[in-house]
Amino acid sequence: MILLWYVLIPTVAAPLAWLAGRRSPAAARWVALAGTAAPLALVAAQWIAATDRLSAAFTAAGPGAAGLAAGSWVVDLRAPWIDSLGISFFVAADGLTLIMLLLTFGLGLLSVLCSWRGITTRVGAFHFMLLWTVAGLAGVFLALDLFLFYFFFEMMLIPMYFLIAVWGHERRVYSAVKFFIFTQVSGLLMLVAIVALVLIHGRATGVYTFDFTQLLGTPLPAGTAFVLMLGFFAAFAVKLPAWPLHTWLPDAHTDAPTAGSVLLAGVLIKIGAYGMLRFMAPLFPDAVAAFRTWALALGAIGIIYGAVLAYAQSDMKRLVAYTSVSHMGFVLIGVFAWNELALQGVVLQLVCHALSTGALFILVGGLQDRIHTRDMARMGGLWRVAPRMGGTAMFFAMAALGLPGLGNFVAEFLILVGVWQVSRWAAVLGAVGLVFATVYALWMMQRAFQGEETHRLSFPDLTRIEVGMFASMIVALVLLGFWPQPLIVTARQTVDGLQRMTAGTALVAPGADASTSTDGASGGPAVTDGAADTGSAPATGDGGAP
Amino acid sequence: MAAVSLDHVLALAAVLFAVGFVGLLTRRNLIVVLACIEIMLNAAGLAFVAAGARWGQADGQVMFLFVLAMAAAEVAVGLALAIRFRQAMKSLDVDDADRLRG
Amino acid sequence: MLSLLWLIPALPAAGSVLLVLFGRRLGRGGTAWVGTGSVSLSAVLALLVCGSFLAAPPAGDAYRQVLWTWFDVGGFAPAIGLHLDAVSIVWVLVITVVGFLIHLYSVEHMERDDGFTRFFIYMDLFVFSMLVLVLADNLLLLYLGWEGVGLCSYLLIAFWQEDAQNVYSGRKAFIVTRVGDTALIAGLFLLFTHYHTLEIGQLMHLVASRSPAPDSGVVLAAGLLLLGGAVGKSAQAPLQTWLPDAMAGPSPVSALIHAATMVTAGVYLIARTNVLYTLAPDARLAVAIVGTVTLLLAGFSALVQRDLKRALAYSTISQIGYMFLALGVSGWEAAVFHFMTHAFFKALLFLAAGVVIVALADEHDIFRMGGLRRELPAVFATFTVGAAALAALPLVTDGFYSKDLIIATSLGSVDGGAWFYVASLIGAFVTGLYSFRLVWLVFFGARRTEVSRRPRWRQLVPLYALAALSVTGGFVWMPAWLGGFEPLRKLLDTALPPAPMEGAAAHFAESVGAALITILVVAAGVGLSYVLWMPRRERTQAFAAAPSVQPLVALWLGGWGFDWFYERVFVRPVKRFAHWARHDLVDHVVGGIAWLNLAGWRGLSAGQNGRLRGYLAVTGLGVVLVLAVVVLR
């Protein structure tokens, strides 16, 4: 039942915020703050309460569909909805869900805070849209019924559209429409794939249902599976965004209000990765394996292409947007490498990227509020004016380029080490992408904050709210950089479950995770033996390079 | 009276229809356009009558009566439209009525 | 006592964090106390810990302290763990002691700078990262320190960030070293994939126990990849181009980061993973060749520099080339020894140069200095000691002992050879030439610029201390013909394999005769430099400006054209592509689809002209066509 609250609280708070906004803008802000803080507290409480369960060894009886249905859910809720079509209101949470919910509400809270000064028109409506987006996002991460998933997937699109189109910047309508069309078209492809899958499953078994756990393991001819997988991939690749379907993102980010950018970069695009992990790969493991080479290539291209284009931008917000393209390339190759190292890296990357990029967007938004431009040609030498801002920007620029000691490094390292076992070239290209990341991050710092102070701007340094927001994000990133274990433990059951569900398919290369299947051998000194065993057949360690 | 073959009559009907159609395309005066439509209707009526005579059935004549009635109605409505058209457009040129362009 | 090991890196880190949080409230005095105090405490602690280590070596001659497990994924569980053995002891002592002296010096050197607090934040952060690098017990944690020092290097080179040129130099340093780091991290991927651990001791054990098994290719590849990282960080050919530009930072930074400690990280890495190189002769040969080429290239470049700090920078590159040469011929201990002596005298040279530059109101050009012998006697004395050590003047300088050892190893080691020997002798000759060129030009001759500021005790104490170390630092390892007092060697033998000195060449290399050759070569270099830049200075100048020599001088001045080459081959194409693609090539495709729709809409709506006759004509045509198809088919 607690899961329902995650969706209900923001949904109900949204009209309240609108009503409150008619009286005073401040009231709307406080309602929105409560509407995101309350579920955040709930998730945190649930996370802490579930610690024992999450850290317990994976208990499912066997591989395959049963494993998922049986053991890995912390909590679930199933209620009939449209029975005649086999659609039910089926929501559940495991470690991955909890992480995504933490992100959703945490960044939701931050986006309310960062709009505190920046949004002055139609404040009530703004927070209505914001809260509904948050509600939709929460629903997406909770749903296990494919129809319900699609419902939330589309539902949060509409308030997001209005956030960009109404409160956005210069080309807001163009960007909003572009965002909408991209997502809508690819979403429809996914809907077709979902319906086809349900029909095929129904014909084979006589049970017409949208329940994900029942659809798992539906026998499909290879060709059909590949086509259906492409339908899912289209939707998630657009969301992620994967090269070459990324072009909506720079526009949407650039023109969205700060809160919109934070939610977009922090949570919305994470749906792509989440959907691939949760639905696409378990449903079509062999097709995903067949597509692996292509996806790795797309991801590697995206990493480098995004970084080079980030370097080429003069609009600071657009630069940050392109860094997202680059970072999500890591996520894509990580997902398709599909071993424990890479998947854990992906989960970490989702969190760390949300924090670091979200912070950069808040920073750029704050800068724009102060000097009314995002054009770096009109900045320069701002460090002297606002040293705290400069130091903060430096920190998050370092996070963007994957500096060890921050969470992003652990994530990228795990992803690349996992990818290396599948394809060395993709891993090498990813590592080269880190060089380009250095180029754009330092270039951004030079153009905005260092160098000569040519424009003689003067504006106030960070406010207290901003200091608080950034400090919390900095602490989180440093913690994740030196001690990411809590997050890894939380996601472990999910990752293990995914590995087991796809065990025996072409996706999990035999031998490639000799180390992952012997979970008991993990831990400091015990590695000696395990490593010696698995390492004695070095040829298998890097097998399967395409 | 020498029998006129069906082919001849049909050929005449076709020529009449073509004359009417070409007039419809080339003339811009609304009155002439209406006249051309009359010609085309009558060409069709001629073909009906000829066909009825050829097969020895009354259907052709019946259809022709329909055509006559329709032509009368069309003229009535058409001329009324023409008067309204002239009042609205201050001309009888059909090409002036192009407000429905895309 | 050993259990306090973690405090050695933790103290500077704490100092840095304190300064970030309270730097403004502390003021300059407080900042200086926190910044310098944390490093001095760390140095004292390092002396105590290392002393207790030496007094009672733990089992296995290494002490490991695991603080916590960094993360644990699928059996991959690198620790945040520290590892202290003979090699790390040498580095830790140098970092903390020299680091403390340089911090003390900085308090005075930077006293008028606006970014006083920022400077000490970065410096403390650097000391922390460097200590993590050399104390890490696994390669991933080492990589953390490795990147951390790179970050601090960037921040400190670009310290005076109002000048875009400084920021450019900082970025260049970061990006070029990051290119090398890509190779290093690929090496980490490779090693982990094959051995399933990155803990250095265990990894080396696994590598050794399985050789010469089928994975010799892996060992070779890993060796070359790690070498790539080392080449970047230690400014060796072909990635040496960033170090001369790195002199844009304050002088204490050049002394600490770009001479004494960070740039020797590559030497540390290779010495630490020597098992890989022992098992992969080709990788070892590559190290030796890189070192030899670099020491010669940089030596000749140092010969013609006009900027005092750039000349010293090239000399640093060259001396690290010596260390690489030593590593490449399996003289692991000789490399560590030279690192230590080099840290002393090169830090001394940079600090002295810093005093000179400040005294002359930020004058870098050695041809506008001169005659400072009487104005700044203390600096003259200490700089000369440093230059003598750099040139390896025999017996009284530490540089002689370490460099002679390397030269001997390059000939006598089974991996050595005549080529390496001759090259290292040429290098020694050139070193004598350029190091004393600086002394003659800066401190002798006519005075050209007024002295505006003189050093006080906080600058003089580090200078004297480092000068003393530069004289005595070499006595810890005397060659056999001088009595063979060699405690450092005995210490290092507990962690590193001794150089394989065998055969007649080794016998000769370790004899007095070989030492005499070295001494003669050095003396010739120093003597020639006296002739060229004291009595015949004008003629030398004229010769260097002659049209037939000028191109060569320009080539050396520009560092052999590496920058020119990279600019054209890598930088400009990427920039051009980025500029050309800045509106996103892919978006043109998307825009194209949108445009096609628009064009279709325009075309169709043009047909809807509202003229009835037009519609009718098209309808008629259609009817005719349909009929024709039906009838003629």
Would the pLDDT of A256 be above 50? yes
Q: Note whether A420 contacts C578, CB cutoff 8 Å.
A: no
Segments forming the whole domain that contains residue B25: 8-90
Which two three-digit tokens encode residue A311?
């370097």
Q: Note whether C72 contacts A383, CB cutoff 8 Å.
A: no
d(CA C390, CA C400): 8
Q: For A248-288, what is the HEC assignment?
A: HHHHHHHHCCHHHHHHHHHHHCHHHHHHHHHHHHHHCHHHH
Give C359→chain A minimum CA distance, Å: 26
- The answer to the question of residue C331 being in a domain is yes
- The answer to the question of residue B17 being in a domain is yes
- The answer to the question of residue B16 being in a domain is yes
Listing DSSP states for C44-104 in one string gives HHHHHHHHHHHHSPPGGG-EEEEEEE---BTTB--EEEEEE-HHHHHHHHHHHHHHHHHHH
B97 contact residues in C (CB cutoff 8 A): 610, 612
For residue B98, the chain C residue with the least C-alpha distance is C610
pLDDT band, very low/low/confident/very high, at A509 (cuts 50, 70, 90): low
Taking the Cβ of residue B97 and every Cβ of chain C, the question of whether any pair is shorter than 8 Å is answered with yes
d(CA C119, CA C292): 36
pLDDT digits (tens, 9 = 90+) for C340-356: 999 999 999 999 999 99
pLDDT of res. C214: 59
pLDDT digits (tens, 9 = 90+) for A138-197: 999 999 889 999 999 998 899 999 999 999 888 889 999 999 999 999 999 999 999 999
Taking the Cβ of residue A532 and every Cβ of chain C, the question of whether any pair is shorter than 8 Å is answered with yes
- Asked whether the CA dihedral C204, C206, C211, C216 is positive or negative, the reply is negative
- The answer to the question of residue C507 being in a domain is yes
pLDDT band, very low/low/confident/very high, at C267 (cuts 50, 70, 90): very high
pLDDT digits (tens, 9 = 90+) for A265-276: 889 999 999 999
* Cβ within 8 Å of residue C186, ≥6 positions away: A427, A428, A431, C225
Q: Which of C41, C31, C57 is closest to C4 using CA atoms?
A: C41
d(CA A340, CA C434): 56
Q: Which of A372, A469, A366 is closest to A117 using CA atoms?
A: A366
- The answer to the question of residue B83 being in a domain is yes
Q: Note whether A531 contacts C79, CB cutoff 8 Å.
A: no
In terms of pLDDT, which residue wins out, A230 or B97?
A230
Is-contact A297 A393, C-beta < 8 A?
no
pLDDT of res. A522: 34
pLDDT digits (tens, 9 = 90+) for C380-436: 999 999 999 999 988 888 889 999 999 999 988 888 888 999 999 999 999 999 999
Is-contact A344 A412, C-beta < 8 A?
no
A524 contact residues in C (CB cutoff 8 A): 66, 69, 77, 79
pLDDT digits (tens, 9 = 90+) for C278-330: 888 889 999 999 999 999 999 999 988 989 999 999 999 999 999 999 999 99
A450 contact residues in C (CB cutoff 8 A): 158, 161-162, 164, 167
pLDDT of res. C535: 79
Q: Note whether B100 contacts C610, CB cutoff 8 Å.
A: yes
Burial class of residue C461, CB neighbours in 10 A (0-12, 13-18, 19+) = middle
Q: Can you tell me the mean pLDDT for A214-235? A: 89
For residue A484, the chain C residue with the least C-alpha distance is C71
Would the pLDDT of B1 be above 90? no
Q: Note whether B95 contacts C611, CB cutoff 8 Å.
A: yes
pLDDT of res. A510: 52
pLDDT digits (tens, 9 = 90+) for A75-98: 677 888 888 888 888 888 888 888
pLDDT of res. A532: 37
Number of domain units in chain C: 1
* Average pLDDT of chain C to the nearest whole number: 89
Is-contact C250 C159, C-beta < 8 A?
yes
pLDDT of res. A108: 92
C75 contact residues in A (CB cutoff 8 A): 515-516, 518-519, 521-522, 527, 530-531, 534
pLDDT of res. A211: 86
pLDDT of res. A70: 44
pLDDT of res. A546: 34
In chain A, what percentage of residues exceed pLDDT 90?
45
Would the pLDDT of A516 be above 80? no
In chain C, what percentage of residues exceed pLDDT 70?
99
Q: Which of B19, B22, B24 to mutate to test the interface with C (most CBs of C within 10 A)?
A: B24
Would the pLDDT of C121 be above 50? yes
Taking the Cβ of residue C617 and every Cβ of chain B, the question of whether any pair is shorter than 8 Å is answered with yes
d(CA B91, CA C214): 99
Name the residue facing B102 among C605, C612, C616 (closest C-beta).
C605
Which two three-digit tokens encode residue C496?
């590193």
Q: Can you tell me the mean pLDDT for C12-25? A: 90
Radius of gyration (C-alpha) of chain C in whole angstroms? 30
Q: Which of A435, A436, A455, A487 to mutate to test the interface with C (most CBs of C within 10 A)?
A: A435
Please tell me what DSSP assigns to residue A90: E
Name the residue facing C608 among B24, B94, B101 (closest C-beta).
B101
Q: Tokens 């001997």 sit at which residue?
A: C408
- The answer to the question of residue C574 being in a domain is no
Q: Note whether B101 contacts C604, CB cutoff 8 Å.
A: no
pLDDT digits (tens, 9 = 90+) for A391-422: 999 999 999 998 999 999 999 999 999 999 88
Q: Can you tell me the mean pLDDT for A352-381? A: 90
Is-contact A54 A492, C-beta < 8 A?
yes
Q: Which of A178, A439, A540 to mutate to test the interface with C (most CBs of C within 10 A)?
A: A439
B98 contact residues in C (CB cutoff 8 A): 609-611
d(CA C48, CA C38): 15
Which two three-digit tokens encode residue A515?
């180390």
pLDDT band, very low/low/confident/very high, at A523 (cuts 50, 70, 90): very low
pLDDT digits (tens, 9 = 90+) for C441-466: 888 888 887 888 888 888 889 999 99
Number of domain units in chain B: 1
Name the residue facing C178 among A312, A438, A483 (closest C-beta).
A438
Q: Which of C598, C608, C612 to mutate to test the interface with B (most CBs of B within 10 A)?
A: C612
d(CA A306, CA A332): 13
Cis peptide before A25 (omega within 30 of 0): no
pLDDT band, very low/low/confident/very high, at C218 (cuts 50, 70, 90): confident
Q: Can you tell me the mean pLDDT for A439-460? A: 87
Name the residue facing B94 among C607, C609, C613 (closest C-beta).
C613
pLDDT of res. A56: 63
Give the distance, in angstroms, between the CA of residue B31 and the centroid of all CA atoms in the same chain. 12
Q: Which of A34, A134, A51 is closest to A485 using CA atoms?
A: A51
C20 contact residues in A (CB cutoff 8 A): 391
Give A541→chain C minimum CA distance, Å: 6
Q: Note whether C188 contacts A417, CB cutoff 8 Å.
A: yes
Taking the Cβ of residue B100 and every Cβ of chain C, the question of whether any pair is shorter than 8 Å is answered with yes
- The answer to the question of residue B3 being in a domain is no
In chain B, what percentage of residues exceed pLDDT 90?
41
**Coil, strand, or helix at residue C249?**
coil
pLDDT band, very low/low/confident/very high, at A519 (cuts 50, 70, 90): very low
Q: Which of C50, C37, C23 is closest to C127 using CA atoms?
A: C37
pLDDT of res. C556: 87
Q: Give the end-to-end CA distance of chain A in Å, rounded to a whole number.
A: 46
pLDDT of res. C206: 87
- The answer to the question of residue C431 being in a domain is yes
Would the pLDDT of A521 be above 80? no
Which two three-digit tokens encode residue A458?
């003067």
Name the residue facing B94 among C604, C605, C612 (closest C-beta).
C612
> Cβ atoms within 10 A of the Cβ of A56, count?
10
pLDDT of res. C422: 92
* Average pLDDT of chain A to the nearest whole number: 84
Burial class of residue A243, CB neighbours in 10 A (0-12, 13-18, 19+) = buried
Which two three-digit tokens encode residue C90?
């040498």
pLDDT of res. C414: 85
Name beta bridge partners: A79.
Answer: A89
pLDDT of res. C139: 92
pLDDT of res. A74: 64
**Coil, strand, or helix at residue A135?**
helix
To which H or E segment does residue A82 belong? strand A75-82
Minimum mean pLDDT range among A156-165, C234-243, C300-309, C606-615: C606-615
Would the pLDDT of C615 be above 50? yes
Give A16→chain C minimum CA distance, Å: 40
pLDDT of res. A384: 86
Radius of gyration (C-alpha) of chain B in whole angstroms? 17
Give A465→chain C minimum CA distance, Å: 17
Segments forming the whole domain that contains residue C530: 281-545
pLDDT band, very low/low/confident/very high, at C14 (cuts 50, 70, 90): very high
